C-alpha cells in the first residue's frame, strides 16, 4: 500500500483553513517586527509634529499658524490612515509606533472630548459672523433671537443687512451698539461705546460697557482680518496678527475687572499669533464646552475660529448653535459673573 505523505500544499493548501494558517503564520513570524518601517517612522513624525507644533516656524508662509489652526486634524486623519497601512503590511512595529501619536493627541485634546458644563450661570451670550453674503438676514436674526441670549454680537454686517437685523432684533434687545461692521445687541443698558483701532484702516472692533444686575462688564466685539492660503505665498496672516496684537493691547489696558470678548478671530486657541489675546483671557469652549466646538465652515466645520473669551468671570457652559444662512455657525456660552 502506498504511503501517504503530508505536503505543504495539504497543510496550507487552497482551502479556507490553509489560508487562515498562512495568515496567522505571517503575523507570528519575526517578519512582522521587521516590516512597516516607513509607516512606523511616519507615526513617530506625526507625534513629533503635534508635540512640537510651537517650534514649526512662521517665517515661511506662516506654516506654524496653519498647522496650529488645524492641529486636531493631524492626529484624527493621520492615525487612522497609518493604522490601515500597518494592518495591510501586517506590521507589529508600525502598530506599536502608533501608540505615541495617539498618546500625544490625547494629552493635547483629550480633555476637550468630555462635557465640562456645570449648573448655574448669570448671563448667556452669543457671537455670530453672519456673513455679508447671507441670503436670509431676517431668518438669521430670528434664529439668533430664539437663542434667548442676554447679549448677541454680530460680525460682518453689511450696510444693506444692518437695518434688517435692527428690525428683527429690536423687540428682544432694547439696547445696541454698532461700530463699522460689528455690533452688540443687549438686554442690558450699554454705555461708553467706542470703536477699537485694530490697525485696519476701517472699523471692525468695538468696546462698550454692559450694566448687568451683577455689575458692569467691558464687552469687546471684534472681527479679525481673514487669513488666506496662497499657492505661492503660503498661509498669509500678517494683517490678522497685527490686529490681534492691537486688540490684545486694548484689552490689557481695560480698567474694568470683568471683560468679555466676542467675535470672529480667524484663528483657533492653538494659534500662537493670537497669544496677545489668549495669554490674558480664558476660552469659554475650553473651560466649559463639550467637544471641539468647530464653527467654520458651516457646511463641514473644521476649526473653532469664532470665540467667546472671558477675564474675571467663569464660563459654566459653551455650545454651538444650529446653522443659519451664514458660512459660520453661531456659538454660545453661559457665564457666571463676579467670580
Distance between CA atoms of 32 and 93, rounded to whole angstroms?
A: 7
Mean pLDDT of 153-172: 98
Structure letter (DSSP) for residue 261: E
Residue 7 lies in a domain: no
**Structural domain count, the chain:** 2
Residue 19 lies in a domain: no
Q: Are 150 and 277 found together in one domain?
A: yes
**β-pair type (151-155, 123-129):** parallel
Asked whether the predicted pLDDT for residue 194 surpasses 60, the reply is yes
Burial (CB < 10 A; 0-12, 13-18, 19+), residue 158, is middle
Q: Are 299 and 179 found together in one domain?
A: yes
Q: Are 46 and 192 found together in one domain?
A: no
Question: Looking up cell 508635540, which residue turns up?
Answer: 51
When pLDDT is cut at 50, 70 and 90, the band that residue 23 belongs to is low
Please name which of 130, 80, 63, 85 lies closest in space to residue 296, comparing C-alpha atoms.
130
Q: Are 108 and 129 found together in one domain?
A: no
Residue 30 lies in a domain: no
Distance of CA 190 to the CA centre of its chain: 30
Which range of residues forms the domain containing residue 212? 123-336
Q: Are 323 and 203 found together in one domain?
A: yes
Residue 161 lies in a domain: yes
pLDDT digits (tens, 9 = 90+) for 114-123: 899 999 999 9
Q: Are 98 and 165 found together in one domain?
A: no
Cβ atoms within 10 Å of 231's Cβ, excluding its own: 5
Query: Which of residues 112, 141, 157 is at a domain's end?
Result: 112
Q: Are 89 and 138 found together in one domain?
A: no
Asked whether the predicted pLDDT for residue 72 surpasses 80, the reply is yes
Cis status of the peptide bond prior to 297, with omega within 30 of 0: yes
Mean pLDDT of 186-203: 96
What's the pLDDT score for residue 201?
87
Element (H, E) at 275: helix 275-278
Asked whether the predicted pLDDT for residue 24 surpasses 80, the reply is no
CATH of the domain at 169: 3.60.10.10
- Per the CB < 8 A criterion, the answer to whether 147 and 321 are in contact is yes
pLDDT averaged over every residue in the chain? 89
Q: What are the φ/ψ torsions at residue 67 (nearest 5 degrees)?
A: -60, -45
Q: What proportion of the chain, given as a percentage, has pLDDT over 70?
A: 86
- Per the CB < 8 A criterion, the answer to whether 79 and 98 are in contact is yes
Asked whether the predicted pLDDT for residue 156 surpasses 80, the reply is yes
Q: Are 79 and 228 found together in one domain?
A: no
When pLDDT is cut at 50, 70 and 90, the band that residue 11 belongs to is very low
Q: Are 107 and 230 found together in one domain?
A: no
When pLDDT is cut at 50, 70 and 90, the band that residue 74 belongs to is very high
Q: Are 81 and 152 found together in one domain?
A: no
Q: Are 178 and 278 found together in one domain?
A: yes
Longest dimension (CA), the chain: 109
Residue 16 lies in a domain: no
Distance of CA 218 to the CA centre of its chain: 24
pLDDT digits (tens, 9 = 90+) for 219-273: 999 999 876 554 444 445 578 888 999 999 999 999 999 999 999 999 999 988 8
Mean pLDDT of 208-218: 97
Query: Which of residues 51, 86, 112 is at a domain's end?
Result: 112
Q: Are 148 and 294 found together in one domain?
A: yes
Residue 209 lies in a domain: yes
Residue 13 lies in a domain: no
Please name which of 331, 326, 336 lies closest in space to residue 308, comparing C-alpha atoms.
331
| DSSP code per residue over 32-81 | HHHS-HHHHHHHHHHHHHHHTGGGS-STTTTHHHHHHHTHHHHHHHHHHH
Asked whether the predicted pLDDT for residue 10 surpasses 50, the reply is no
Q: What proportion of the chain, given as a percentage, has pLDDT over 90?
A: 75
Query: Which of residues 82, 112, 142 is at a domain's end?
Result: 112
Amino acid at each position: 500500500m502506498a504511503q501517504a505523505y503530508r505536503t505543504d500544499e495539504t497543510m496550507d493548501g487552497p482551502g479556507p483553513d490553509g489560508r487562515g494558517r498562512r495568515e496567522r503564520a505571517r503575523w507570528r513570524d519575526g517578519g512582522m517586527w521587521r516590516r512597516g518601517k516607513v509607516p512606523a517612522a511616519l507615526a513617530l513624525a506625526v507625534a513629533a509634529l503635534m508635540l512640537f507644533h510651537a517650534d514649526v516656524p512662521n517665517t515661511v508662509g506662516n506654516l506654524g499658524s496653519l498647522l496650529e489652526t488645524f492641529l486636531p486634524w493631524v492626529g484624527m486623519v493621520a492615525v487612522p490612515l497609518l493604522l490601515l497601512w500597518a494592518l495591510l503590511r501586517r506590521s507589529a512595529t508600525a502598530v506599536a509606533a502608533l501608540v505615541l501619536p495617539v498618546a500625544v493627541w490625547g494629552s493635547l485634546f483629550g480633555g476637550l472630548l468630555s462635557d465640562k458644563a456645570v449648573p448655574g450661570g448669570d448671563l448667556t451670550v452669543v457671537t455670530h459672523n453672519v456673513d455679508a453674503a447671507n441670503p436670509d438676514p431676517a431668518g438669521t436674526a430670528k434664529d439668533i433671537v430664539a437663542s434667548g441670549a442676554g447679549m448677541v454680537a454680530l460680525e460682518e454686517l453689511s450696510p444693506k443687512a444692518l437695518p434688517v437685523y435692527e428690525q428683527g432684533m429690536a423687540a428682544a434687545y432694547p439696547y445696541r451698539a454698532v461700530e463699522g461692521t460689528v455690533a452688540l445687541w443687549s438686554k442690558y443698558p450699554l454705555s461708553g461705546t467706542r470703536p477699537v483701532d485694530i490697525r485696519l484702516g476701517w472699523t471692525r472692533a468695538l468696546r462698550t460697557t454692559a450694566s448687568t444686575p451683577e455689575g458692569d462688564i467691558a464687552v469687546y466685539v471684534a472681527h479679525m482680518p481673514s487669513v488666506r492660503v496662497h499657492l505661492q505665498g503660503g498661509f498669509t496672516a500678517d494683517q490678522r496678527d497685527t490686529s490681534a496684537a492691537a486688540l490684545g493691547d486694548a484689552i490689557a489696558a481695560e480698567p474694568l475687572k470683568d471683560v468679555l470678548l466676542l467675535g470672529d478671530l480667524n484663528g483657533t486657541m492653538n494659534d500662537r499669533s493670537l497669544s496677545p489675546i489668549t495669554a490674558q483671557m480664558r476660552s469659554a469652549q475650553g473651560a466649559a464646552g463639550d467637544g471641539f466646538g468647530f464653527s467654520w465652515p458651516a457646511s463641514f466645520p473644521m476649526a473653532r475660529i469664532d470665540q467667546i473669551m472671558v477675564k474675571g468671570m467663569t464660563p459654566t457652559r459653551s455650545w454651538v448653535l444650529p446653522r443659519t444662512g451664514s458660512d459660520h455657525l453661531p456659538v454660545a456660552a453661559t457665564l457666571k459673573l463676579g467670580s
